[in-house]
Chains A and B, each alone.
Chain A
Amino acid sequence: MSLMNAEQYEESLRELNLVVYMFGRRLENIVDDPIIRPSMAAVAKTYEMAHRPEHEDIMTATSHITGKKINRFTHIHQSVNDLVKKSKMGRLLGRETGCCFQRCVGVDTLNALSIVTYDIDQEKGTGYYQRFLRYLEYVQENDLTCDGAMTDPKGDRSLPPHKQADPDHYLHVVEKREDGIVVKGAKAHQTGAVNSHEIIVMPTIAMREGDRDYAVSFALPSDADGIIYIMGRQSCDTRKLEAGLLDRGNIVFGGHEALVVFDNVFVPWQRVFMCGEYEFAGKLVAQFAAYHRQSYACKVGVGDVLIGAAQTAAEYNNVAGASHIKDKVIEMNHLNETLYCGCIACASEGHKEPSGTYAVNTLLANVHKQNVTRFPYEMARLAQDIAGGLMVTMPSESDLKAPETGKWIEKYFRAKNDVSAVNRMRILRLIENITLGTAAVGYLTESMHGAGSPQAQRIMISRLVNMLEKQKAAQKLCGIEEK
């Protein structure tokens, strides 16, 4: 079944036996939990759209190992065109769901591992790459969703892993056996973790010899013994428990993150892709980060939704023709399309790695992500300006429906005469959702910290620009001849 559909995906999740806690209780039924279900629906969209003729050109690819048609989220990029299609897929799905659809982190992990396992083998004579390819075939054949687990809790940020007061603040190997390894630690902020079939762990920083036990990468079924999920809260999350849909803003989709604890978990050798090769930890982090910074193409799609919502709100207020409103909408579009330029550029300037996998241009991917840490915030500010204060002061859907209050809300929250109060409330709730509700986790704070905080990109930019060439160009033009 190399292409699951949405229903099959949902059923496959029901077969998992995950240990998930939320609000202090273990969840019995994860798939139908009202807080989690919208995030499952967003991942399901990645399966559904792969079957639609009008989207399959982006959503599917041909496996380089089996020649079969597969979901692009399990594909190893074989050309620049594949990289470009990945960026386009991000925009498409961001616009379809208006939130984080969670599946990009897995494909980025697979691609980074396809490069680095090969490189380790070349230098160390290990057999990771073939092992990885066997695992990849399993993922592709079963069309699995993979959680890419990089970020450790990290404890004291100024100390390397092996010097932490609590040795588990970075995930590490605690035992090596003939049949595999035992690991302990945790991964924080895991996007889509409980919607995943597999969890693929990578180190989170470059490492030195003392960190050898922390230089570990492996994959496990998400319900392996000893893995515990503690769901993260999102602002306004409990609105999903209320009757009615209006106050959610996005009435269909959402995202989620979780803290994933590995409490002495056994990993068989055939699922281990790095174990002690600390010299390659930094390379794996950098490769993953470059792909994942490209993946913030999704914010362009969510930006499309936000722009559409802001324009609609302006039309409902009958101010869309005002010059300052038009200018603000133009500015939102300018920022959004600038983001699009970045994710297309880093893909178009991609190159082939020794393993055969195509990688994005790392400098441009970092520049793109740096813009992502800023532009969505400015777009959110402009959308809130256009929306007006009602976005945060309007009563609930229950008040709208109650006979005593509904008549007043209908009367006083109608703006342009031919627009109902309820539709005005709907569009304002959507803007609220994206800019300060559940979806703001993805649109704003994830834009800031996901795939690395802003400073991580600035360090990469300073490392990757060719400063000498720039100086030479300047000096030549003004007649400086000294070497």
Chain B
Amino acid sequence: MRRVGIKYCGGCNPDYDRVALVEELKNRLAGYVEFVPYDAENIDMVLAVEGCQTACADLSSVKKLEVYIIKAPGDAEKTAEGLKEKAMKAFEGAIHFSCRLRSSISDIRMTPFSVKSHLN
């Protein structure tokens, strides 16, 4: 399972509920991706959860890793798909597993995220 470190911006004046969105992501990707704090050991990539387009989270400590960035709820769908694809690639060769993943990616697309930006 891929370990994704979550790094939030400070949340001074966010356009949406960042924590609720991450909870939804966690539920969607349960079993495929493990979400951990960004400073945990052995993380494969980072998910930066930014409250607005300024995107000021300090990512200097995770510079060497691949970083997915969410700046609005609208980014969550693509991020979820991207993270699943990554998880799938990591298990390439395990045909049964990847079939399961493919079907669940289409599941994700069918159920939109419920967290909304106030800008929507």
Q: Which residues of A contact B (CB under 8 A)?
A: 53-59, 81, 84-85, 88-89, 91-92, 95, 304
User: Which of A53, A89, A91 is B8 in contact with, Cβ under 8 Å?
Assistant: A53
CB-defined A-B contacts under 8 Å, sample of 23: A54-B8, A54-B11, A54-B49, A55-B10, A55-B11, A56-B8, A57-B7, A57-B8, A57-B9, A57-B10, A58-B9, A58-B10, A58-B12, A81-B58, A85-B10, A88-B10, A88-B13, A88-B56, A89-B12, A92-B11, A92-B12, A95-B13, A304-B13
B57 beta carbon closer than 8 Å to chain A? yes
* Alpha-carbon separation in the docked complex, A242 to B12 (Å): 34
**Which residue of B has the minimal Cβ distance to A85?**
B10
* Alpha-carbon separation in the docked complex, A451 to B24 (Å): 44
CB distance from B77 to the nearest CB of A (A): 21
Contacts of A55 in B (CB 8 A): 8, 10-11
Contact B19 A54 (CB under 8 A): yes
Report which residue of B7, B18, B37, B58 has the largest number of chain A beta carbons within 10 angstroms of its beta carbon: B58
CB distance from A91 to the nearest CB of B (A): 5
* Alpha-carbon separation in the docked complex, A92 to B58 (Å): 17
Secondary structure class of chain A's binding surface, majority of residues:
helix
B29 beta carbon closer than 8 Å to chain A? no
* Alpha-carbon separation in the docked complex, A88 to B52 (Å): 13
Contacts of B8 in A (CB 8 A): 53-57
Contact A57 B57 (CB under 8 A): yes
Contacts of A304 in B (CB 8 A): 13
Contact A91 B12 (CB under 8 A): yes
Q: Which residues of B contact A (CB under 8 A)?
A: 6-13, 18-19, 37, 49, 56-58
* Alpha-carbon separation in the docked complex, A58 to B12 (Å): 8
Contacts of B11 in A (CB 8 A): 54-55, 57-58, 92
* Alpha-carbon separation in the docked complex, A88 to B19 (Å): 19
Contacts of A57 in B (CB 8 A): 7-11, 56-58
* Alpha-carbon separation in the docked complex, A85 to B57 (Å): 10
* Alpha-carbon separation in the docked complex, A331 to B47 (Å): 37
CB distance from A428 to the nearest CB of B (A): 24
Contacts of B58 in A (CB 8 A): 57, 81
Contact A89 B6 (CB under 8 A): no
CB distance from B32 to the nearest CB of A (A): 21
Contacts of B12 in A (CB 8 A): 58, 88-89, 91-92
Contacts of A85 in B (CB 8 A): 10, 56
**Which residue of B has the minimal Cβ distance to A54?**
B8
CB distance from B11 to the nearest CB of A (A): 5
CB distance from B6 to the nearest CB of A (A): 7
**Which residue of B has the minimal Cβ distance to A96?**
B11
Contacts of B37 in A (CB 8 A): 53
Contacts of A59 in B (CB 8 A): 10
Contact A91 B13 (CB under 8 A): yes
**Which residue of B has the minimal Cβ distance to A90?**
B12
Closest 3 CB pairs of A and B: A58-B10, A88-B12, A57-B10
**Which residue of B has the minimal Cβ distance to A84?**
B56
* Alpha-carbon separation in the docked complex, A156 to B9 (Å): 49
* Alpha-carbon separation in the docked complex, A95 to B51 (Å): 15
Contacts of B18 in A (CB 8 A): 54
* Alpha-carbon separation in the docked complex, A81 to B9 (Å): 13
* Alpha-carbon separation in the docked complex, A391 to B68 (Å): 48
Contacts of A56 in B (CB 8 A): 8, 10
* Alpha-carbon separation in the docked complex, A53 to B37 (Å): 8
* Alpha-carbon separation in the docked complex, A92 to B57 (Å): 15
CB distance from A96 to the nearest CB of B (A): 10
Contacts of A95 in B (CB 8 A): 13
* Alpha-carbon separation in the docked complex, A59 to B18 (Å): 17
Contacts of A84 in B (CB 8 A): 56
